[in-house]
Amino acid sequence: MTTTAANSNLFRDYIGAIFNGVKFTDVPINPKVRFDFILAFVIDYTTTTTPPSPTNGQFEIYWQNTVLTASAVASIKQSNPNVRVAVSLGGATVNDNPVFFNITSVDSWVANANLDGIDIDYEQFQVDPATFAECIGRLVTTLKSNGVIKFASIAPYDNADVQRHYQALWASYGSVIDYVNFQFYAYGASTTEEQYVGHFDDQIANYPGGNILASFTTAPTTTSVSINTSLNACQTLQSQGKLYGIFIWAADHSRSQGFKYDTQAQELLANAHSY
């Protein structure tokens, strides 16, 4: 880990959670960026019960895997050497029921959750921060040491309970977490560019040494930070040498906009000073 993240050209796009048929090949990919698709989500819950119930690390796919297939992953990577594909664990809900991080046994959870490249996006918890940190930290460490994954990220946002859990994870296992996909769009619609940059600096302090990514959402919402404010803040952060990368939630929403903002964000990153 570096002590201070510098500009880089990492772009990440979540994909698959909205079930609207979006394909990897729909998304414009700038060859001058490092591009990660993040499949959303795999969740250790089953929908065979009502409400859905946890499975202690037996993960099920909750993205549109009839479209975003294993062969589609192989194909997009083969045709775009700058593309990697990760999978996100967790998410907020299953069938509108909250998904809790709630495991029975640390050992069985780590053994069962044998996945590829991962992003951690649990947002509700029924365990204490230390248990969460140990489970996720050991999972990432094991998958990396076994060569199953090359990188891992976490996706916290500014909620006291969420931050407690992810900062505990960072304190114990930050050395094996490559990126912090901080959900800056979770701040309110009135957030200014200056406030956005201030929030970014707060997360640099909360996750010391981390590669913090700026972010925005292309979902049709009136309650999140605006896209233009976010992009302007990204330009400011880049001018300050702090824009390690940008991620977007989500390609599914961007499709109806012709991927306008995904393209703009990649163009900004393609001009990054360091690679």
Catalytic residue set? 123
- Positive or negative: CA dihedral 158, 164, 165, 166: positive
Compute the distance between CA of residue 144 and CA of residue 150 in angstroms, rounded to an integer.
6
109-126 b/e with 16+ CB inside 10 Å = b? bbebbeeebbbbbbbbbe
Cα of 240 vs its chain's centroid, Å? 23
What count of other Cβ atoms lies within 10 Å of the Cβ of residue 164?
A: 15
Rg (CA), the chain: 18
* Peptide bond before residue 41 is cis, with ω within 30 degrees of 0: yes
DSSP letters, 35-67, are EEEEEEEEESEESSSSS-EE-TT--EE-S-TTT
> Nearest-CA neighbor of 115 among 23, 43, 166?
43
H-helix or E-strand spanning residue 88: strand 83-91
